[in-house]
Structure 1
Amino acid sequence: MEFEKLYIQAKNTLNPRDISPFISAGSVASAILTDKGKVYLGVCIDTACSLGMCAERNAVANMITNGECKITKLVCLSSTGEILTPCGACREYLMQLHKTNGEMEILKSLDNFATVSLNELLPDWWGKKQINV
Protein backbone atom coordinates (compact mmCIF):
# COMPACT_ATOMS: atom_id res chain seq x y z
CA MET A 1 0.00 0.00 0.00
CA GLU A 2 2.88 2.39 0.76
CA PHE A 3 4.31 1.91 -2.72
CA GLU A 4 0.94 2.63 -4.31
CA LYS A 5 0.73 5.90 -2.36
CA LEU A 6 4.30 6.83 -3.26
CA TYR A 7 3.63 6.04 -6.92
CA ILE A 8 0.56 8.30 -6.94
CA GLN A 9 2.44 11.13 -5.21
CA ALA A 10 5.32 10.88 -7.68
CA LYS A 11 2.92 10.70 -10.63
CA ASN A 12 1.12 13.83 -9.40
CA THR A 13 4.49 15.61 -9.24
CA LEU A 14 5.28 14.99 -12.91
CA ASN A 15 5.05 18.21 -14.88
CA PRO A 16 7.28 18.16 -17.98
CA ARG A 17 8.10 21.70 -19.04
CA ASP A 18 10.79 23.98 -20.43
CA ILE A 19 12.13 26.40 -17.87
CA SER A 20 14.34 28.27 -20.36
CA PRO A 21 15.99 27.52 -23.71
CA PHE A 22 18.64 25.65 -21.70
CA ILE A 23 16.70 23.91 -18.93
CA SER A 24 13.78 21.49 -18.88
CA ALA A 25 12.26 19.84 -15.85
CA GLY A 26 9.64 17.45 -14.58
CA SER A 27 9.82 14.57 -17.05
CA VAL A 28 10.90 12.17 -14.28
CA ALA A 29 9.58 12.25 -10.72
CA SER A 30 10.61 10.50 -7.54
CA ALA A 31 9.10 9.94 -4.10
CA ILE A 32 11.08 8.74 -1.11
CA LEU A 33 9.80 7.52 2.24
CA THR A 34 12.04 8.02 5.27
CA ASP A 35 12.34 5.97 8.43
CA LYS A 36 10.34 8.71 10.18
CA GLY A 37 7.41 8.18 7.80
CA LYS A 38 7.83 11.41 5.83
CA VAL A 39 7.62 11.59 2.04
CA TYR A 40 9.86 13.83 -0.04
CA LEU A 41 9.32 14.48 -3.73
CA GLY A 42 11.57 15.60 -6.56
CA VAL A 43 11.64 16.03 -10.32
CA CYS A 44 14.52 15.86 -12.74
CA ILE A 45 16.12 19.08 -13.93
CA ASP A 46 17.94 18.72 -17.25
CA THR A 47 20.39 21.43 -18.32
CA ALA A 48 22.43 22.19 -21.44
CA CYS A 49 25.57 22.43 -19.30
CA SER A 50 24.93 19.01 -17.68
CA LEU A 51 24.69 20.49 -14.18
CA GLY A 52 21.14 19.25 -13.78
CA MET A 53 19.75 16.92 -11.18
CA CYS A 54 17.96 13.59 -11.26
CA ALA A 55 14.56 13.33 -9.59
CA GLU A 56 15.94 11.07 -6.86
CA ARG A 57 18.68 13.54 -5.91
CA ASN A 58 16.16 16.38 -5.95
CA ALA A 59 13.94 14.45 -3.51
CA VAL A 60 17.00 13.69 -1.37
CA ALA A 61 17.92 17.38 -1.32
CA ASN A 62 14.45 18.12 0.07
CA MET A 63 14.91 15.37 2.65
CA ILE A 64 18.32 16.63 3.75
CA THR A 65 16.97 20.18 3.97
CA ASN A 66 14.45 18.82 6.46
CA GLY A 67 17.09 17.06 8.57
CA GLU A 68 16.68 13.44 7.46
CA CYS A 69 18.97 10.93 5.72
CA LYS A 70 17.51 7.39 6.18
CA ILE A 71 15.37 6.16 3.29
CA THR A 72 13.16 3.06 3.51
CA LYS A 73 11.34 3.18 0.15
CA LEU A 74 11.88 4.86 -3.22
CA VAL A 75 9.73 5.23 -6.34
CA CYS A 76 10.89 6.80 -9.59
CA LEU A 77 8.87 7.10 -12.78
CA SER A 78 8.96 8.62 -16.23
CA SER A 79 6.43 11.00 -17.74
CA THR A 80 4.63 7.98 -19.23
CA GLY A 81 4.26 6.40 -15.78
CA GLU A 82 6.93 3.77 -16.44
CA ILE A 83 8.76 2.66 -13.29
CA LEU A 84 12.48 3.44 -13.38
CA THR A 85 15.34 2.40 -11.13
CA PRO A 86 17.97 4.96 -10.10
CA CYS A 87 20.86 5.64 -12.46
CA GLY A 88 24.38 4.73 -11.37
CA ALA A 89 25.14 8.20 -10.00
CA CYS A 90 21.95 8.19 -7.92
CA ARG A 91 22.64 4.68 -6.64
CA GLU A 92 26.02 5.85 -5.37
CA TYR A 93 24.56 9.04 -3.88
CA LEU A 94 21.77 7.13 -2.09
CA MET A 95 24.23 4.59 -0.71
CA GLN A 96 26.54 7.26 0.72
CA LEU A 97 23.76 8.97 2.74
CA HIS A 98 23.36 6.45 5.54
CA LYS A 99 24.67 3.00 6.43
CA THR A 100 21.17 1.45 6.30
CA ASN A 101 20.15 2.93 2.93
CA GLY A 102 21.40 -0.15 1.11
CA GLU A 103 18.38 -1.93 2.57
CA MET A 104 15.85 0.50 1.08
CA GLU A 105 13.18 -1.02 -1.11
CA ILE A 106 13.02 0.39 -4.63
CA LEU A 107 9.88 -0.19 -6.67
CA LYS A 108 10.79 -2.22 -9.75
CA SER A 109 7.36 -2.97 -11.19
CA LEU A 110 3.71 -2.12 -10.64
CA ASP A 111 2.93 -5.80 -11.15
CA ASN A 112 2.49 -7.01 -7.57
CA PHE A 113 4.62 -4.00 -6.54
CA ALA A 114 7.87 -5.95 -7.03
CA THR A 115 10.90 -4.35 -5.39
CA VAL A 116 14.67 -4.55 -5.37
CA SER A 117 17.03 -3.34 -2.64
CA LEU A 118 19.72 -0.76 -3.26
CA ASN A 119 22.26 -3.37 -2.12
CA GLU A 120 21.08 -5.59 -4.97
CA LEU A 121 21.47 -2.75 -7.48
CA LEU A 122 24.92 -1.84 -6.15
CA PRO A 123 26.58 -5.08 -4.99
CA ASP A 124 30.06 -5.04 -3.50
CA TRP A 125 29.85 -1.30 -2.84
CA TRP A 126 33.32 0.17 -2.31
CA GLY A 127 32.36 2.29 0.74
CA LYS A 128 30.73 -0.39 2.91
CA LYS A 129 33.63 -0.61 5.39
CA GLN A 130 33.89 3.16 5.87
CA ILE A 131 30.16 3.82 6.30
CA ASN A 132 29.77 1.07 8.89
CA VAL A 133 32.41 2.58 11.20
Structure 2
Amino acid sequence: MDKVQALFEAASAVRRHAYAPYSGFAVGAALLTPSGAIFSGANVENAAYPTGICAEAGAISAMIASGERQIAEMLVLGDGAALTTPCGACRQRIREFAGPDAKIHVAGPSGLKATFTLGALLPEAFGPDNLQGN
Protein backbone atom coordinates (compact mmCIF):
# COMPACT_ATOMS: atom_id res chain seq x y z
CA MET A 1 0.00 0.00 0.00
CA ASP A 2 1.17 3.52 -0.81
CA LYS A 3 2.33 5.41 2.30
CA VAL A 4 0.01 8.38 1.69
CA GLN A 5 -2.92 5.97 1.34
CA ALA A 6 -1.88 4.24 4.58
CA LEU A 7 -1.77 7.61 6.36
CA PHE A 8 -5.16 8.54 4.88
CA GLU A 9 -6.73 5.30 6.10
CA ALA A 10 -5.27 5.70 9.59
CA ALA A 11 -6.43 9.34 9.84
CA SER A 12 -9.86 8.43 8.51
CA ALA A 13 -10.28 5.59 11.00
CA VAL A 14 -9.25 7.65 14.02
CA ARG A 15 -11.29 10.66 12.89
CA ARG A 16 -14.44 8.61 13.50
CA HIS A 17 -13.53 8.69 17.21
CA ALA A 18 -12.92 12.45 17.43
CA TYR A 19 -14.67 14.21 20.29
CA ALA A 20 -16.04 17.41 18.76
CA PRO A 21 -19.43 18.10 20.39
CA TYR A 22 -19.02 21.90 20.31
CA SER A 23 -17.66 22.66 16.86
CA GLY A 24 -18.83 19.50 15.12
CA PHE A 25 -15.50 19.63 13.24
CA ALA A 26 -13.86 16.22 13.56
CA VAL A 27 -10.19 15.98 12.58
CA GLY A 28 -7.95 12.95 12.25
CA ALA A 29 -4.18 13.00 11.82
CA ALA A 30 -1.67 10.28 11.13
CA LEU A 31 2.10 10.48 10.98
CA LEU A 32 4.76 8.23 9.56
CA THR A 33 8.16 7.76 11.20
CA PRO A 34 11.36 6.86 9.36
CA SER A 35 11.02 3.32 10.76
CA GLY A 36 7.70 2.96 8.91
CA ALA A 37 5.49 3.13 12.01
CA ILE A 38 2.21 5.03 11.76
CA PHE A 39 0.66 6.85 14.71
CA SER A 40 -2.71 8.58 14.69
CA GLY A 41 -4.74 11.00 16.77
CA ALA A 42 -8.14 12.68 16.79
CA ASN A 43 -9.14 16.09 18.11
CA VAL A 44 -10.63 16.20 21.60
CA GLU A 45 -12.65 19.31 22.45
CA ASN A 46 -13.40 20.59 25.93
CA ALA A 47 -16.14 22.87 27.24
CA ALA A 48 -13.41 25.04 28.76
CA TYR A 49 -11.83 26.46 25.61
CA PRO A 50 -8.92 26.33 24.70
CA THR A 51 -8.02 23.20 26.64
CA GLY A 52 -8.87 20.83 23.80
CA ILE A 53 -6.27 18.78 21.95
CA CYS A 54 -5.62 18.88 18.22
CA ALA A 55 -5.45 15.64 16.25
CA GLU A 56 -1.83 16.35 15.32
CA ALA A 57 -0.88 16.67 19.00
CA GLY A 58 -2.56 13.34 19.73
CA ALA A 59 -0.62 11.60 16.95
CA ILE A 60 2.64 13.13 18.18
CA SER A 61 1.88 12.02 21.75
CA ALA A 62 1.26 8.46 20.55
CA MET A 63 4.57 8.53 18.68
CA ILE A 64 6.47 9.77 21.73
CA ALA A 65 4.77 7.21 24.01
CA SER A 66 6.05 4.44 21.73
CA GLY A 67 9.63 5.70 21.95
CA GLU A 68 9.91 7.18 18.45
CA ARG A 69 11.15 10.75 18.00
CA GLN A 70 11.03 11.69 14.31
CA ILE A 71 8.23 12.52 11.86
CA ALA A 72 8.87 11.73 8.20
CA GLU A 73 5.40 12.69 6.92
CA MET A 74 2.00 13.63 8.31
CA LEU A 75 -1.54 13.68 6.95
CA VAL A 76 -4.33 15.82 8.41
CA LEU A 77 -7.94 15.06 7.47
CA GLY A 78 -10.94 17.35 8.00
CA ASP A 79 -14.23 18.26 6.34
CA GLY A 80 -15.20 21.26 4.27
CA ALA A 81 -14.07 22.98 1.09
CA ALA A 82 -11.18 24.81 2.78
CA LEU A 83 -7.93 23.00 3.48
CA THR A 84 -7.56 21.67 7.04
CA THR A 85 -3.91 22.53 7.57
CA PRO A 86 -2.29 22.25 11.00
CA CYS A 87 -2.88 25.24 13.28
CA GLY A 88 0.09 27.42 14.20
CA ALA A 89 0.70 25.62 17.50
CA CYS A 90 0.66 22.24 15.77
CA ARG A 91 3.03 23.47 13.07
CA GLN A 92 5.48 24.24 15.87
CA ARG A 93 4.79 20.85 17.52
CA ILE A 94 5.52 19.11 14.22
CA ARG A 95 8.72 21.16 13.84
CA GLU A 96 10.01 19.75 17.10
CA PHE A 97 10.17 16.31 15.46
CA ALA A 98 10.46 17.06 11.73
CA GLY A 99 12.68 19.09 9.46
CA PRO A 100 11.59 21.68 6.91
CA ASP A 101 11.46 19.08 4.10
CA ALA A 102 8.94 16.83 5.88
CA LYS A 103 5.77 16.41 3.82
CA ILE A 104 2.47 17.52 5.32
CA HIS A 105 -0.50 16.10 3.40
CA VAL A 106 -3.95 17.69 3.71
CA ALA A 107 -7.03 15.64 2.92
CA GLY A 108 -10.81 15.62 3.00
CA PRO A 109 -13.05 12.59 3.38
CA SER A 110 -12.83 11.88 -0.35
CA GLY A 111 -9.02 11.96 -0.50
CA LEU A 112 -5.86 14.01 -0.75
CA LYS A 113 -6.26 17.75 -1.45
CA ALA A 114 -2.73 19.17 -1.19
CA THR A 115 0.80 18.45 -0.04
CA PHE A 116 3.16 21.00 1.51
CA THR A 117 6.57 20.85 3.11
CA LEU A 118 6.75 21.87 6.73
CA GLY A 119 9.09 24.66 5.61
CA ALA A 120 6.34 26.09 3.40
CA LEU A 121 3.84 25.98 6.27
CA LEU A 122 6.27 27.31 8.88
CA PRO A 123 9.08 29.25 7.17
CA GLU A 124 12.18 30.19 9.15
CA ALA A 125 10.95 28.08 12.07
CA PHE A 126 12.55 28.04 15.49
CA GLY A 127 13.43 24.46 16.36
CA PRO A 128 15.70 22.19 18.37
CA ASP A 129 18.72 23.11 16.25
CA ASN A 130 18.42 26.72 17.44
CA LEU A 131 19.20 25.57 20.98
CA GLN A 132 22.16 23.28 20.21
CA GLY A 133 25.26 24.37 22.05
CA ASN A 134 23.36 26.42 24.64
Unpaired runs of at least 5, structure 1: none
Aligned length: 128
Equivalent residues in 2 for 1:43-62 (5 A)? Answer: 43-49=42-48, 50-62=50-62
Equivalent residues in 2 for 1:1-133 (5 A)? Answer: 1-15=2-16, 27-49=26-48, 50-79=50-79, 84-97=84-97, 100-108=98-106, 110=111, 114-127=114-127, 129-131=129-131
Q: Which residue identity lines up with residue 6 of structure 1 in the other structure?
A: L
Identity rate, percent? 29
Structure whose residues are more often strand by fraction = 1
Q: Output the TM-score relative to the length of structure 2.
A: 0.78
Q: Secondary structure at the match of 1:47?
A: coil
Unpaired runs of at least 5, structure 2: none
- Contact 1:44–1:55 at 8 Å: present in 2 too? yes
Q: Report the CA distance between 1:126 and its aligned residue.
A: 3.1
Q: Report the CA distance between 1:8 and its aligned residue.
A: 1.4
Q: Output the TM-score relative to the length of structure 1.
A: 0.79
